[in-house]
Amino acid sequence: MSQNKSLSLSRRNFLKTSLLAGGGMLIGFNLLSACKPEAILPIDISKLNFNDFNAFIKISDEGYVTIFSPNPEIGQGVKTAMPMIIAEELDVDWNKVSVAQGIYDPKNYQRQVAGGSQSIRFGWDALRQTGATTKQMLVNAAAKQWGVNPSSCYASQGIITNANGDTLGYGEVVKVAANLEVPENIILKDPKDFKIIGHDITNVDIQKIITGKPLFGIDYSSEGMVYASVLRPPAFGDKLTSYDDQISRSINGVLDVIKFGNKIAVLGTNTWAAMKGKKAIVSRWEQDTKLESTDDHNFELLKILNGNKFKTNREDGNVKTAFKNADKIIERTFESPFLPHNCMEPMNFYANVTDKKVHLVGPIQTPAWTSGKIAKILDRKPEEIHLEMTRMGGGFGRRLYGDFAEEAAQISNIIKKPIQVIFSREDDMAAGTYRPAIKYRIKAAIKDGKLTAYHLKEAAINGNMYGLIANFFPAGCIPNYKVSTANYKSNITTGAWRAPFTNFLAFAEQSFFSEIASELEIDHPQLIIDLLQNVKGTTDERIQYSPERMEETINLVIKKSNWGETPEGVYQGFSAYYSHNTHVAEVADIELKNGMPVVKKVTVAVDCGIVVNPLGAKNQVEGGVIDGIGHAMYGDFSFKAGTPQSVNFDKYRLIRMEETPEVKSYFVESNLSPTGLGEPGLPPAGGAVANAIFKATGQRLLKQPFINQLEISESKILG
């Protein structure tokens, strides 16, 4: 089971304190160097460097504190929550804190990644140590000034007080503090004394957001910058053979047209000219590799499920024998489509490649990985790459992949000008790193009224579930248990999408358990709680979830949702899922309107340990739930001969305001170290809705999106 181990900051972990030219102190820590991540993240993310990172605190002579937030902000709230943790232990008035985005700086920060809901979990101990050590240095400096023992002084809200009642502000002692030895064996606060953590703190960028200040990558511009619109292959598998740019070049504002690799970039004095210029290019493409269609994917994935070429991810007991001896076997196949990410801010990046350096600015979840790739592509030294991260208009996994930044760097390298690549929405949806289509087949054996075997088969595209998932629920709960995986290689680019794999697996599993519960004539949440008893006290260290925490989370949602006590016409569905180290349980309430199900309310219970910022936490959980419902209901994306069939919001349906249910979120009270919230709210949502729809209409939904599957119930219309 995963718990953060306490860290000690040793002298060698500490970088330095330095006096600033303009006054004040800059303090830097090499954080997390002792912390090895226990969790191996999704396959695409695990290649990234997860070792160490640093944080900086700047204190002015006036006592104002600037905290540099090292991790990329994609809307998950870390730019507010990570500095809150430092400020808590530093013990300053939050109103005197300003937060700045740290740049990509591998010497001083590490694990500058937004992915896997891990920023807070990995940062927790280290950020607290940073704040607490800095506070102790300031206390030591004040004690020195007074000529008293530091242990007779205490600090609170940016003020140090001694036994005589004398006070000094942090700003008054920073210069002395900066030259002191770094103290060791720092004592952290008791969580009951927290003044910032656990309190509602507004998004640190709120003022800029509501007044339209430049903040996002797409808002960046520099003197002499030109805009680039890129023509990419219309179909996955196409190769550029020739093109005619005569008309394009005649358009006002078009500066140049260049070919790079299999793509053409149109440079313009403004975005509109570049986009118009791109549309005016007459291009010819030929088939290079296979041109795949959704029908091909369905055929291939079913072929995998019906075959026997699987890898075993985990096997307990003897599944084969258990199925042979079963009274009844239930088997279902669950199917999902590809999904684009559709960040509201389309992909974009700024690059200025000069002989001296490569300057990159933009929205990226993986600055380290991307900088490294660009250094290789341009054959430059890593230290010549200077990458600034901006706030991101959504990430959802799309901005883990720096293809757009690579394009910007390549184009700037050719034309030797500062440029900004901007994707149109059509570019963004047609050149994705999609959540691939996936199919699960789940088979269960029932004997003497008990679940005796469970076999999950995964047929995926371009990769399978990451290593830990086979050890999520119900691993350890069922004596005969097996997870088998196999995949099909496609030339369509695929990648992580908010809660990789679990975003669909949770729906499949929790829909299946709802059906098993009906078969066993037991309430769905009760079935899960009964199964959880089997794993309590386990010595199996591979098991990822905590049965105690999951049970408590389920009990909380049952209580808060009035499970089973709804008025007539309201149908409830349950779902519980552990992912990204966080336990979540959800209940969806639906009603029928003209025979069609309408999700009215979702009650969600979460155990993420200590809630750092309740205001931000609720936003994440509620957004995750609605996102999960939206994609389960409407998310549909298909290919024909390698070409995406919907490339803008007129054809691709995202959930909107009138389809949004009320969401009530509740957190299990806890003193355990916090875990992430960017993803875990999403996976259970689809299952909760599907199970509620079953109760209302008797229809079991096995495929997403639901909107294509719903059978309108005549009797319900008439009734």
Partner 1 sequence: MTNYTLKINGKKVTVTADEDTPLLWVLRDELLMKGTKFGCGIAQCGACTVHVNNIAVRSCSLPISSISEESITTIEGLSENGTHPVQLAWKEIDVPQCGYCQAGQIMTASAFLKVQPAPTKDEIREAMHGNICRCASYNRIEKAVKLAAKNS
Residues that bind partner 1 (CB under 8 A): 74-77, 200, 202-203, 205-207, 209-216, 218-219, 221, 227, 252-253, 269-273, 275, 342-346, 391-396, 422, 424-426, 615-616, 619-620, 622-624, 626-627, 630, 648-650, 654-658, 660, 662-663
**Alpha-helical regions (H) of 261-402:** 271-279, 294-306, 319-324, 367-378
Q: From the CB of residue 623, how many other CB atoms can be counted at a distance below 10 Å?
A: 17
CA dist., res. 592 & res. 432, Å (int): 36
CA dist., res. 388 & res. 383, Å (int): 14
- Closer of 150 and 681 to partner 1 (Cβ): 681
- Closer of 153 and 602 to partner 1 (Cβ): 602
Q: Is 63 left (phi over 0), alpha (psi -120 to 50) or beta?
A: left
How many whole angstroms from its chain centre is CA 275? Answer: 31
> In the complex, what is the shortest distance from the CB of residue 301 to partner 1, in angstroms, rounded to a whole number?
28
> In the complex, what is the shortest distance from the CB of residue 89 to partner 1, in angstroms, rounded to a whole number?
24
CA dist., res. 461 & res. 473, Å (int): 23
Beta strand 311-316 with 480-488: parallel, antiparallel or unpaired? antiparallel
> In the complex, what is the shortest distance from the CB of residue 663 to partner 1, in angstroms, rounded to a whole number?
6
> In the complex, what is the shortest distance from the CB of residue 230 to partner 1, in angstroms, rounded to a whole number?
15
> In the complex, what is the shortest distance from the CB of residue 346 to partner 1, in angstroms, rounded to a whole number?
7
> In the complex, what is the shortest distance from the CB of residue 176 to partner 1, in angstroms, rounded to a whole number?
38
3-state secondary structure of 427: helix
> In the complex, what is the shortest distance from the CB of residue 77 to partner 1, in angstroms, rounded to a whole number?
7
> In the complex, what is the shortest distance from the CB of residue 621 to partner 1, in angstroms, rounded to a whole number?
11
- Closer of 505 and 626 to partner 1 (Cβ): 626
CA dist., res. 291 & res. 289, Å (int): 7
- Closer of 388 and 426 to partner 1 (Cβ): 426
- Closer of 213 and 239 to partner 1 (Cβ): 213
- Closer of 204 and 240 to partner 1 (Cβ): 204
Beta strand 662-667 with 226-231: parallel, antiparallel or unpaired? unpaired
**Would you say 85 and 197 are in contact if contact means Cβ atoms under 8 Å apart?**
yes
CA dist., res. 598 & res. 595, Å (int): 9
- Closer of 463 and 500 to partner 1 (Cβ): 500
Contacts of residue 697, Cβ cutoff 8 Å, sequence gap at least 6: 592, 597, 710, 711, 713, 716
φ, ψ (nearest 5 deg) of residue 592: -105, 130
- Closer of 394 and 500 to partner 1 (Cβ): 394
Query: What is residue 102's DSSP assignment?
Result: P
- Closer of 271 and 534 to partner 1 (Cβ): 271
- Closer of 206 and 717 to partner 1 (Cβ): 206
3-state secondary structure of 515: helix
- Closer of 557 and 626 to partner 1 (Cβ): 626
Query: What is residue 717's DSSP assignment?
Result: H
| Bridge partners, 160 (sequence order) | 155, 168
Contacts of residue 446, Cβ cutoff 8 Å, sequence gap at least 6: 326, 327, 328, 329, 330, 452, 516, 519, 520
> In the complex, what is the shortest distance from the CB of residue 557 to partner 1, in angstroms, rounded to a whole number?
18
- Closer of 117 and 713 to partner 1 (Cβ): 117
> In the complex, what is the shortest distance from the CB of residue 351 to partner 1, in angstroms, rounded to a whole number?
17
CA dist., res. 324 & res. 43, Å (int): 35
> In the complex, what is the shortest distance from the CB of residue 630 to partner 1, in angstroms, rounded to a whole number?
7
What tokens appear for 702 in the block?
A: 């096995």
Nearest CA among 668, 468, 458, 712 for reference residue 556: 668
- Closer of 338 and 466 to partner 1 (Cβ): 338
Q: Is the peptide bond before 705 cis (omega within 30 degrees of 0)?
A: yes
> In the complex, what is the shortest distance from the CB of residue 328 to partner 1, in angstroms, rounded to a whole number?
40
CA dist., res. 230 & res. 421, Å (int): 8
Torsional sign, CA 592, 594, 597, 600: negative
CA dist., res. 261 & res. 110, Å (int): 32
CA dist., res. 376 & res. 55, Å (int): 28
> In the complex, what is the shortest distance from the CB of residue 206 to partner 1, in angstroms, rounded to a whole number?
5
> In the complex, what is the shortest distance from the CB of residue 345 to partner 1, in angstroms, rounded to a whole number?
5
What tokens appear for 69 in the block?
A: 């937030």
**Would you say 689 and 633 are in contact if contact means Cβ atoms under 8 Å apart?**
yes
Q: Fill in the amino acid letter for 569.
A: G
> In the complex, what is the shortest distance from the CB of residue 139 to partner 1, in angstroms, rounded to a whole number?
33
Angle, helices 502-520/614-634, rounded to nearest 10 degrees:
80
- Closer of 613 and 673 to partner 1 (Cβ): 613
What tokens appear for 339 in the block?
A: 């999904």
Q: From the CB of residue 282, how many other CB atoms can be counted at a distance below 10 Å?
A: 11
**Would you say 45 and 496 are in contact if contact means Cβ atoms under 8 Å apart?**
yes
3-state secondary structure of 634: helix
- Closer of 275 and 411 to partner 1 (Cβ): 275
> In the complex, what is the shortest distance from the CB of residue 349 to partner 1, in angstroms, rounded to a whole number?
15
- Closer of 208 and 332 to partner 1 (Cβ): 208
